[in-house]
Amino acid sequence: MLIKTPAPHDPLPSEITPQSIYLDRRSALAALGLAAASPLALAQSVPGGGKLPKLPGARSAVAGAMVLDKPTSYADASSYNNFYEFGTDKSDPAEHAHTLKTRPWTVSVEGECAKPGRYDIDALLKLAPMEERIYRLRCVEGWSMVIPWVGYSLGTLLKLAEPTAKAKYVEFTTLADRAQMPGVRSGVLDWPYVEGLRIDEAMHPLTLLAFGMYGEVLPNQNGAPLRLVVPWKYGFKSAKSLVKIRFVEKQPTSSWTKAAQQEYGFYSNVNPNVPHPRWSQATERRIGEDGLFSRKRPTLMFNGYEAQVGQLYAGMDLKKNY
């Protein structure tokens, strides 16, 4: 048996902060948005699947980026998915997305900008320091998750392109390859999957270009090798497996709006007061909390990010602009 003799630089037991106080201090700092500035700026270590390459990120200093809700387990976040290119059942993406090839992969940035470009995924991975951000993700179908993503603000990439004054919106297009994606052979959506944001929404620091989750690269079913995460909007705005980002003057038409205009508006901000024609949006079921006695959670305005993004919609009729 090995007995450890303390080295001169080892802290004395009395100098070590008890874990309960350390954790409390971390939550208090996070609530103040100060955690990243402190020496305790460690990324949250919620275990991933352990099978994919590691992709660590430092705790994000962006206001609102670290919610304190308990993260969803990796097993749930990577097996209950919407990724219609791989089928419409929640279990289809985890089952079928192994056919997606994530190398080589390029993303083109084009349209109304002075410096369009085509970026290799490995260059994008090095473009800015990776941050961990714990976001709520609320799906319009009435369920939600809490996921520790890894990436950086989309605005970092967008600014490099120097958008012109005509760039009022940004359109996002994702991969649609019949050879790799069995769902693209079905007519459930008009492929490729297209989404859009107003330029100020796209530039908002909370809008994340995500490359990983739970400290590892994204599993294919979650949108590898890179996806959007727009935490105050319904999940379908967070387009997976991006291949094109285009600055445009006119509001883009998303695939979901094309499929059912009355059900999916351009803004799609999480709003408990505006029901979807088929689903109330007042409450949500947090994945992993199901059980006989588990209560539904009330859905929060802008998914809880009102302090950060409410101003973007000042004076707008949110019932009309759903």
Burial classification of residue 72, based on how many CB atoms lie within 10 Å of its CB (0-12 exposed, 13-18 middle, 19 or more buried): buried
* Residue/partner pairs of 162-166 with CB below 8 Å, 24 or more apart: 162/113, 162/114, 162/115, 163/112, 163/113, 163/114, 163/199, 163/247, 164/112, 164/113, 164/114, 164/247, 166/112, 166/247, 166/249
Nearer to ligand MTE by Cβ, of 99 and 311: the residue is 99
User: Would you say 153 and 135 are in contact if contact means Cβ atoms under 8 Å apart?
Assistant: no
Least Cβ distance, residue 226 to ligand MTE (angstroms): 11
Q: Among residue numbers 168 through 207, which ones bind ligand MTE (CB under 6 A)?
A: 174, 193
Nearer to ligand MTE by Cβ, of 148 and 163: the residue is 148
Least Cβ distance, residue 199 to ligand MTE (angstroms): 21
Nearer to ligand MTE by Cβ, of 153 and 222: the residue is 222
Closest residue to ligand MTE, Cβ-based? 235
User: Could you report how far apart the first and last alpha carbons of the chain are, in Å?
Assistant: 66
Least Cβ distance, residue 319 to ligand MTE (angstroms): 22
Q: Among residue numbers 226 through 285, which ones bind ligand MTE (CB under 6 A)?
A: 235-236, 238-241
CA distance 153 to 209: 6
| Options 43, 100, 109, 137; binder of ligand MTE; rule CB under 6 A | 137
For the window 41-80, what string marks contact with ligand MTE as x by the rule CB under 6 A? ----------------------------------------
Q: Among residue numbers 88 through 117, which ones bind ligand MTE (CB under 6 A)?
A: none
Least Cβ distance, residue 254 to ligand MTE (angstroms): 11
Both tokens of 73, joined, read: 């387990």
Both tokens of 136, joined, read: 């709520």
User: Would you say 242 and 173 are in contact if contact means Cβ atoms under 8 Å apart?
Assistant: yes
Interface contacts to ligand MTE, rule CB under 6 A: 81-85, 137, 139, 174, 193, 222-223, 235-236, 238-241
